[in-house]
Amino acid sequence: MTAVLENRRGHYRRRNLLKVCLGVDKIMSSKGSASDAKTDAKRGLRVGVVGAGVMGSNHARVLAGLPDVTLVGIVDPLPEHRARAIALVGCRAFADLEELFDEGVDAITIAAPTHLHHEIALACITRNIHILVEKPVASTVEEGQDIVNAARSAGVTLMVGHVERFNPAVAAIKQAIAGEDILSIGITRVGPFPPRMSNVGVVIDLAVHDIDLIRWFTESDIVEVQPQLSSAVAEREDIALLQFRTASGVLAHINTNWLTPFKARSVTVATRGKYVMGDLLTRQVTECFGFKPDGSYSMRHLPVGHDEPLRAELIAFLDAVRTGNLPAVSGDEGVASLEIAIRCLEQPAKPAASAARKGPRRIAG
């Protein structure tokens, strides 16, 4: 077994060295990428994870249990993160990305802090490694576009990790409104302040999920943005009320904050023929239809699957790697949602009638 592993490692080192020397990794054609994808489909994929925080550890856990996938290891510079990953998943852990490259990988999922996405993604693309990048795709639109352009030039698969699309309740809503004339969308995503969060506010951490859902539900670009933001108890915005209009004329709003003591995730979609309500946590989706002049209507609960969203997302990514087909969430879609989120942060806010009281909230009672 040791000899087999050494032979495989040697094969990948020679292959990568040859590509670097010839510049193949930078000029690889789409035809070559499709050929590689067909080869990948005939064997198991070697996959790595960058980032051993909560999300990265979950990536590793899921990948370790997928058929025809070898989890090569997880990369994180922090010893405590690596130790946790080893304990939770039982996989190898590396302190440096080059160590993972040396082992030979076909694909990598990037769950590192957002400000590192650009550097890590380009390093992978240069080596012709397919990547899934967690949302948001990058810190800026320019960095996100760099990643998209590099992946396109290299002919590698790039997918953005907007995992909420793979929530079975979201999938049921999407199916229920297919072909409908959508009028409005309302999304609530609230909860308590996350101790791990330090460098972004609710718009980038939470609302970007729902910006992506609005674009996906309507299959239309967002053309108007009207944000109302507030920093009630945190340095960055912890309350956001966001209103949008799509190119197709749909009105949408997002209510998100870190002030609610419990998590709530809900979606409502009004069309000319029905009204759909979904709870993304309990995964219950209800459809109102058959509206009558007297105000009466019918209701029914829609069937909802039980898949783990992250598992479904990673399977979709690896399927795109194997087949060469377009990924479920493209790099362009990830950049478009990031651009709208940043517009929400940059839009001048209207002055409040009176200054908000600063400091922690008091609990009555």
Tell me the C-alpha distance between 351 and 353, whole Å.
7
Higher-pLDDT residue of 16, 123 = 123
Q: How far is CA 328 from the centre of its chain?
A: 11
Contact yes or no for 216/169 (Cβ under 8 A): no
**How much of the chain, in percent, has pLDDT values that exceed 90?**
80
- Summarised one tens digit per residue, pLDDT across range 36-47 is 544 444 469 999
Answer yes or no: is pLDDT of 213 > 60: yes
Residue range 207-230: mean pLDDT, rounded: 97
Contact yes or no for 284/217 (Cβ under 8 A): no
Lowest mean pLDDT among 177-181, 200-204, 270-274, 340-344: 200-204
Answer yes or no: is pLDDT of 307 > 60: yes
How far is CA 247 from each of CA 155, 156, 313, 335, rounded to the nearest angstrom?
31, 31, 28, 17
What is the structure's pLDDT at 363?
40
What is the structure's pLDDT at 194?
85
Contact yes or no for 273/292 (Cβ under 8 A): no
HSE value, Cβ hemisphere, 13 Å, CA-based, for 229? 23
- Mean pLDDT (the chain, rounded): 87
Residue range 132-153: mean pLDDT, rounded: 97
Q: How far is CA 253 from the centre of its chain?
A: 20
Answer yes or no: is pLDDT of 34 > 70: no
Residue range 289-301: mean pLDDT, rounded: 97
Contact yes or no for 203/338 (Cβ under 8 A): no
What is the structure's pLDDT at 198?
62
What is the structure's pLDDT at 349?
55
- Summarised one tens digit per residue, pLDDT across range 261-280 is 999 999 999 999 999 999 99
Answer yes or no: is pLDDT of 359 > 60: no
Answer yes or no: is pLDDT of 180 > 70: yes
Answer yes or no: is pLDDT of 259 > 50: yes
Residue range 312-324: mean pLDDT, rounded: 98
Answer yes or no: is pLDDT of 108 > 50: yes
What is the structure's pLDDT at 37?
44
